[in-house]
Amino acid sequence: MGKISKGIIEEWNKRKLSKIVNLREFQLAKKKLSEIHKDIENRLAENVSDPSNQIYIFMQNLLSYFSEEVSVGDDFVEYYDKVEEVDDEYMPSYPPMSPLTGAYFTYWCFCDLEFGKDKETICSIFYDLCAELDLEKEMLAALKNLGASYMGFYKHLGFEDDLILLKEISTGKIFKCICPAGYRGEKNETWFVRIVPNLDEIYDYSITITTPYIILNYGEKEWKDFYKRQKIEGKEYSFLKNNPNFKYWHDYIMDGYVNFTPNCIFLKGMPDIKGSKPHELDGGFFDEF
């Protein structure tokens, strides 16, 4: 547990945190998660919106609420300065406005962006507080999974039992996925996406919680070569999740943007090969608008 988490929990235990976070929101969260969990089998049988994905979306919204409420604290100045810089520079939304999607941006803000002496995140701080309050196990599991998640590169292997098979290029691990964005793709595509496990103890599948970025003309071999050039083999997780250059992957998306559909976005190029990305040649994505 980091310094910022400890400070917030101490304030909570002193009954002073009510000025920062409304306890009623947590009680509503517990009630909502309980309702979703109880209805999980019926929802799956009816083939409606995936219940685990609903919980992740709910937690994303709760993280957003939490981050807004704690913004008054001095410990969060570094965090908000970086978030504001990225928000102003890249204007996250969805193409054609910006290829940085809202989901990509918010999960990066909450789950990847480290700050403070102990390199904490909004997600890790909120998890520590929720654990202290002994809240719903689904809430804690969702926060833990989100905190460990990251944008990774995957090779599309086809389909199994109507699930999308994605192989992580860096580890070789295979994930059976649903894609709530609605994109199913084709075998041998390269996806850049964030994956989390489902929260059900019965069904074995994962969820792509961001709209997939599809990399054109650069496949498994090219990305393995990229990891070699960066000298990060075996350390890809840190490079992808907590790159020292906090704008690294944002710039790649902006420079590599080619086109989009309502459920996927197409990129081209490699981050470290000059001239391989379309928008690095003309000064940037926003020059077209």
- SS3 sequence of 117-161: CCCECHHHHHHHHHHHCCCCHHHHHHHHHHHHCCEEEEEEEEEEC
Answer whether 0.85 is exceeded by the pTM: yes
Residues 106 and 177 both lie in one domain: no
Residues 138 and 157 both lie in one domain: no
The SS3 assignment for 275 reads coil
Query: What does each of the 289 residues of the chain score in pLDDT, given as a tens digit?
Result: 898 888 877 876 765 445 445 545 555 555 655 565 555 445 444 444 688 888 898 889 889 988 888 877 789 999 999 999 999 999 999 999 999 999 999 999 999 999 999 999 999 999 998 888 777 788 899 999 999 999 999 999 999 989 999 999 999 999 999 999 999 999 999 999 999 999 887 778 999 999 999 999 999 999 999 999 999 999 999 999 999 999 999 999 999 999 999 999 999 999 999 999 998 865 555 555 4
If you compute the radius of gyration of the chain from its CA atoms, what whole number of angstroms results?
Answer: 19
pLDDT of residue 102: 95
Residues 106 and 195 both lie in one domain: no
pLDDT of residue 9: 79
The number of distinct structural domains making up the chain is: 2
pLDDT of residue 262: 95
pLDDT of residue 69: 80
Residues 197 and 63 both lie in one domain: no
Residues 139 and 162 both lie in one domain: no
Residues 124 and 167 both lie in one domain: no
* Amino acid making up residue 155: K
Q: Could you list the residue range(s) of the whole structural domain that residue 231 is in?
A: 150-288
Residues 97 and 198 both lie in one domain: no
Residues 49 and 128 both lie in one domain: yes
- Which stretches of the chain are assigned E, i.e. beta strand? 151-160, 163-168, 174-178, 190-197, 206-208, 213-216, 257-261, 264-268
Residues 136 and 12 both lie in one domain: yes
pLDDT in tens, 101-143: 999 999 999 999 999 999 999 999 999 988 887 777 888 999 9
Residues 97 and 13 both lie in one domain: yes
- Domain limit, last residue, from 113, 147, 181: 147
CATH number of the domain that residue 222 is part of: 2.40.50.140
- Domain limit, last residue, from 94, 122, 147: 147
Residues 40 and 134 both lie in one domain: yes
Residues 99 and 121 both lie in one domain: yes
pLDDT of residue 37: 52
- Domain limit, last residue, from 79, 114, 147: 147
